[in-house]
Structure 1
Amino acid sequence: MTATTFPQPATFRFSRMLPLALALLLMLSGCSSVRLVYGHLDWWMERNINKYLDLGGTQEDLLELRIDEFHRWHRQTQLPRYADFFEQLAGQVDINAAPTPTELDTLLTQAETRVDGLWHNAVVMLSDLILPLVIQLDPAQIDQLEENIRKEQEESRKKWEKTERKRIKEFRKQADRWLGDVTDEQQAIIDRHVATTQFDPKLRDAQRQRWAQTFLQVLREKPEGYRQQLRTMLIDPQSLWPADYQKMRQQLRTQARQLASELLLSATPEQRQHLKHTLREYAEDFRHLAAQKH
């Protein structure tokens, strides 16, 4: 399995925070790094939320309590599911025989669906804990939130203005993490994927702006049913995606799955052994963390 990066939907960063944190965990090497980073997840989340929400006094105290609650819930209920998932994936890796393209496509599609479900669980829980704080923001705080979102979008645009060489390096790093040293054939696969990936940053930026404007308008005006509207926008930002953006997102997911498929089909027995071992290491890490007290 290879980790593939593509643009995420426009929501406040706290609605994507857990998946980003998990991505960070999986980029680190060694179980000790995973365990160390996860132990500081609550601090990292609070720090990033405060980049958006200008809180003070009792609001700040409540945020800390909500983050602690989320971290405890996630450790106790979600990490065991991650461990089971990684164990299941490891069990599907046949070291001595690669799956057929059809079998692999089925496995990757099932894994993608499972990841989507785990992502959704986290976003729902985090949104339900943080949204009560958001709806209490006064007009000045909402204005500051709008400015913070604008700054984040500007920074995000700069981060995505990367050279092809940098993108290739990132994919190579992730392939090495899961498979070990990549072959010349696999490097060519990565090069071709980066060169042919279709991504229009203008569509992404327009969607982010549309989402932010809608969310802030509802937050300011508070029409009837506004709480549910805000919750839906956090949990299901796809509800605001226009057809062209939905098409691009689907194409990116398909291309990512194709890259993973090509790399796995080309994997050597030694690489499949490496993948199996790495998956089980992560499963062990998640079980160890789940057993700890927060």
Structure 2
Amino acid sequence: MLRWFKCLAVILTLSLALSLALGACSRVGLAYRNLDVIIPWTLSDYLDMNGEQKGWFNERLKEHLSWHCTTQLPGYLDWLDSLQVMVENNQVTEAALQARTQEAKDAIAQTAREITPSAIELLQGLDDKQVAEMNDAFAKDQRKRQDEYLKPSLDQQIKERAQRMEKRLDDWLGPLSTTQKQRVADWSKALGDQNTQWIANRAHWQKQFSAAVGQRQSPEFAQRIETLLVNRESLWTQAYRQAYAKTEAQARSLFVDLMAESTPAQRERLLKKIKGVRKDFTELKCLKAAL
């Protein structure tokens, strides 16, 4: 995901036990002001745009940011308000989290649909050298993730996953109790070899994306890219589809249990964090003009 899109996804999927890289987006306003890509992956990690492409891209970026800030962010304020009420009333339930999660997915899909035409236009203008560089970068990405997430033994993968989650939760809830730490450990163990399915599916998507870009002048190109960027789930492997459903369910269960065991101080810290995100949104000049 691109940096800004990742930040957006992180905020909107907070209800999934804060299971994404929360540290990647500590301040929404800062992320907005430093947004340098607008398609659903970190473009700079995979290819270099030439001067003409960068100029076109920067102009299109301004248009997308204006649209997003004035039409989408007001709805995020309502979403954050709903999340805040859940925590304040100590009503973090499975049903409530499912509702917030679906709202988050809908919001992300709407943004993906809006920016996809720009992604298509940019990709159609790539030369063969840029496409080759992108494919090489995909291969490097796959090797890196396999080394990091698959080479360790399964026991080590489970241990490291729990440690990453504890670190994220510590930022949003504060230090976990012994009971909460054990719950995180149980959550990580329940996911088993989820890393295998995640990385395999990522490689599967990249392969399809590379194939589509290789045929970027074909009449079917726009539709193929829209499917890859907007309807990604339709292209998931069957194994990953099952693993993802399990991951979502386990994340909801984890967060419900953690909040049930939470202290007043932890809930207050979480509320402060939510309010901080909301404040960052409301301080954006474009949003002030829209409200």
In the alignment, does 2:181 pair up with 1:187? yes
Kindly report which structure 2 residues correspond to 1:1-294, keeping only aligned pairs within 5 A, or say none. Answer: 13-14=1-2, 17-22=3-8, 23=10, 26-27=22-23, 33-42=27-36, 48-94=42-88, 98-99=90-91, 104-161=93-150, 163=156, 164-221=158-215, 222-289=217-284, 290-291=286-287
**Is the Cα contact below 8 Å between 2:209 and 2:225 reproduced in 1?**
yes
Note the residue ranges of structure 2 that are not aligned, 5 or more in a row.
Answer: 12-20
CA 150–235 in structure 1, closer or farther in 2 if over 3 Å, else same: same
Say what the alpha-carbon RMSD is for the aligned residues.
3.0
Between 69-78 and 238-247, report the one with greater CA deviation. Answer: 69-78
- Give the aligned residue type for 2:68: H
Q: Deviations over 1:89-135 (max 9, x none)?
A: 1122245xx44xxx711111111111111221222223222220101
CA 206–282 in structure 1, closer or farther in 2 if over 3 Å, else same: closer
Deviation at 1:259, TM superposition (A): 0.8
Distance 2:40 2:84 in 1: 33
Distance 2:261 2:203 in 1: 41
CA 210–92 in structure 1, closer or farther in 2 if over 3 Å, else same: closer
**Is the Cα contact below 8 Å between 1:66 and 1:129 reproduced in 2?**
yes
CA 46–84 in structure 1, closer or farther in 2 if over 3 Å, else same: closer
Between 135-144 and 197-206, report the one with greater CA deviation. Answer: 197-206
What secondary structure does 1:42 align onto? Answer: coil
Deviation at 1:44, TM superposition (A): 9.7
Deviation at 1:266, TM superposition (A): 1.2
Q: TM-score, normalised by structure 2?
A: 0.80
What secondary structure does 2:72 align onto? Answer: helix
| Higher relative contact order (Cα pairs below 8 Å, separated by 6+ residues) | 1
**Is the Cα contact below 8 Å between 2:46 and 2:138 reproduced in 1?**
yes
**Is the Cα contact below 8 Å between 1:63 and 1:130 reproduced in 2?**
no
Q: Percent identity?
A: 23
Distance 2:211 2:41 in 1: 25
Distance 2:176 2:279 in 1: 25
Q: Deviations over 1:231-266 (max 9, x none)?
A: 111111222223222111111111111111110111
Q: TM-score, normalised by structure 1?
A: 0.80
Distance 1:46 1:239 in 2: 16
Note the residue ranges of structure 1 that are not aligned, 5 or more in a row.
Answer: 1-12
Deviation at 1:292, TM superposition (A): 6.1
Q: How many matched pairs?
A: 272
- Give the aligned residue type for 1:272: R
**Is the Cα contact below 8 Å between 2:205 and 2:235 reproduced in 1?**
yes
**Is the Cα contact below 8 Å between 1:104 and 1:261 reproduced in 2?**
yes
**Is the Cα contact below 8 Å between 1:198 and 1:252 reproduced in 2?**
no
- Give the aligned residue type for 1:274: R
Between 64-73 and 251-260, report the one with greater CA deviation. Answer: 64-73
CA 180–225 in structure 1, closer or farther in 2 if over 3 Å, else same: same
